Chain A
């Protein structure tokens, strides 16, 4: 250890970063159990036990928030999870290297579009009067729709634009897993006279299972952590009934209304549920499929 003091010196600044910006906030989360007072500061403010949590659970918005959060990410999981797998399986079948590269290049690209630009595009396309979608509807003799003003459409807009943006990116990991499958398995399948579809069904898919399980665990572990940014940007007073999720609520209550203690409690509730979900799914996966992230 003495010999490598320089390495330890090197690690200090990054370690400080993690302590200050990741761990110190965890300590600051005691705010959730306090009645924060600006003048007294975090530690001087009086303890109130679970009062902030009780306030949240008894809040008429509680179930709406939990429901919106879970429905939105559940929908995203259900629709968005299989698509990259299917995409990867299809790309994997393509023999022409050029076409393969082209499909990957194009499908990967939207991943680099920022959330703000993505939402800007959605808004331009779905704008009530001048949006492309409505112009197209009118062209076919249909009535205009105020897409972003319909609470019922919010989830679909969110989920399908997300799939548009990330499916190509997510497919890359599956493609890598497919490339790692033992070629002798394919030859065996060929000798047995397997069709293309049977080959996918009996060689490709089983080969993907470990990767699928890991990605699934990670996705389920993110159910409560669904992106604040895009939801917040897509939100408007008309679709709020379906678009107010826990993360956006924490932002508006906490930072906009400066109700720090209450918002911290809500955020902590969210993080803890998320952690519990992750640990549970990981444990389940370990037991059922022998794959897990730790």
Chain B
């Protein structure tokens, strides 16, 4: 992109100062973003005493894995982890399939009722019945306190439909459709053997966005679930870190030690809950950015 700009032109001192300022500010931004993350990770790897006495500043102090050990000894956390994996896998599958089912027809110019349908779905972006009326519907359908409550009521995000639709519109050539219609190919067949294979990039974006959304979701679980057996990790996280419910019955002599461990556990828990997303993130960032752009351009 920048290749056409001639490099040899000498920059004025003011310009260079300006540029240096920008580099400094951006470096500070990077530091400000990254420091809390490093701090959390370092704390999770330090000894309980080091964490609670505030000796951790940047790198781990007295490296220990006791936080992680405690975490793996807490059955509710493991259960929550398992549940979250289930919700993420199944929920993502349902969401992606439904999104493609509506986005593809919406991308076809010949599709009857396309504008009306588009209006119907975009209107839900700017107006909603509200929390209680939605809750009542879920209740009337007897989904309260079932796994379905986390998989179905928020399965389709309008924004993802718009992104997918723009993708199909711009990357499935009309000629391809005409040619296969000539050969007597049905719409289903066309979708299955031509559209889907050509749409791997957008499917990847949909999978990633929905998966991250499901993994991070807690609100639906908060309002629709009652049985602790069904709780996703985020809800467990809330009860342990935010509501501070980790302490069971405590032996007075061991209290300090326990308290320190409980404190450390919080850091490890944050790391473990965020890890799956942050590990894949650098590999897929490009796709996320692309997905966002496709959506925003066609808005």
A105 touches B282 (CB 8 A): yes
- Say whether B176 faces chain A, with CB atoms less than 8 Å apart: no
**A interface bracket (residues with beta carbon within 8 Å of B):** 35 or more
Give A3 Cβ to nearest chain B Cβ, in Å.
8
Give B72 Cβ to nearest chain A Cβ, in Å.
19
B223: chain A residues within 8 A (beta carbon): 251, 255
A28 touches B137 (CB 8 A): yes
CB under 8 Å from chain A, chain B span 253-279? 263, 266-267, 269-270, 273-274, 277-278
> Which label, helix, strand, loop or mixed, suits the secondary structure of the B interface?
helix
- Say whether A120 faces chain B, with CB atoms less than 8 Å apart: yes
The answer to whether A25 and B133 touch (CB under 8 A), given A120-B237, A233-B242, is yes
B132 touches A260 (CB 8 A): yes
What is the 8 Å Cβ interface bit string for chain A, positions 180-193, against chain B (1 contact, 0 not)?
00010010001000
Q: Considering only CB atoms, which chain B residue lies closest to A234 in the complex?
A: B242
Q: How far is the CA of A135 from the CA of B154 in the complex (A)?
A: 42
> Which label, helix, strand, loop or mixed, suits the secondary structure of the A interface?
helix
- Say whether A140 faces chain B, with CB atoms less than 8 Å apart: no
**B interface bracket (residues with beta carbon within 8 Å of A):** 35 or more
A26 touches B299 (CB 8 A): no
CB under 8 Å from chain B, chain A span 166-188? 168, 172-173, 176, 179, 183, 186
What is the 8 Å Cβ interface bit string for chain B, positions 202-219, against chain A (1 contact, 0 not)?
000000000010011111
What is the 8 Å Cβ interface bit string for chain A, positions 19-37, against chain B (1 contact, 0 not)?
0111111111101000000
What is the 8 Å Cβ interface bit string for chain B, positions 83-113, against chain A (1 contact, 0 not)?
0000000000000001101101100101111
Q: How far is the CA of A12 from the CA of B154 in the complex (A)?
A: 17
A106: chain B residues within 8 A (beta carbon): 30, 33-34
Give A55 Cβ to nearest chain B Cβ, in Å.
15
B132 touches A263 (CB 8 A): yes
B54 touches A135 (CB 8 A): yes
Q: Considering only CB atoms, which chain B residue lies closest to A19 in the complex?
A: B120
Give B198 Cβ to nearest chain A Cβ, in Å.
17
Instruction: Kindly list 15 other residue pairs between chains A and B, CB separation below 8 angstroms, not including A109-B281, A123-B241, A190-B9.
Output: A6-B187, A7-B105, A14-B99, A21-B134, A25-B137, A31-B133, A105-B282, A110-B33, A114-B273, A115-B216, A116-B241, A250-B130, A254-B135, A267-B132, A275-B126
Question: Would you mind naming 20 contact pairs between A and B with Cβ atoms under 8 Å apart?
Answer: A10-B191, A11-B105, A18-B124, A23-B129, A29-B129, A90-B26, A93-B22, A95-B2, A105-B282, A109-B281, A112-B277, A117-B216, A120-B241, A120-B242, A164-B36, A186-B5, A228-B131, A229-B219, A251-B223, A278-B126
Report A's interface with B, CB cutoff 8 A.
1, 4, 6-8, 10-11, 13-15, 17-18, 20-29, 31, 42, 87, 90-91, 93-95, 99, 102-110, 112-117, 119-121, 123-125, 130, 132, 135, 164, 168, 172-173, 176, 179, 183, 186, 190, 195-197, 214, 221, 228-229, 233, 247, 250-251, 254-255, 260, 263-264, 267-268, 270-271, 274-275, 278, 293
The 9 A-B pairs at the shortest CB distance, nearest first, are namely A25-B129, A267-B130, A114-B216, A28-B133, A135-B54, A14-B102, A25-B133, A6-B187, A120-B241
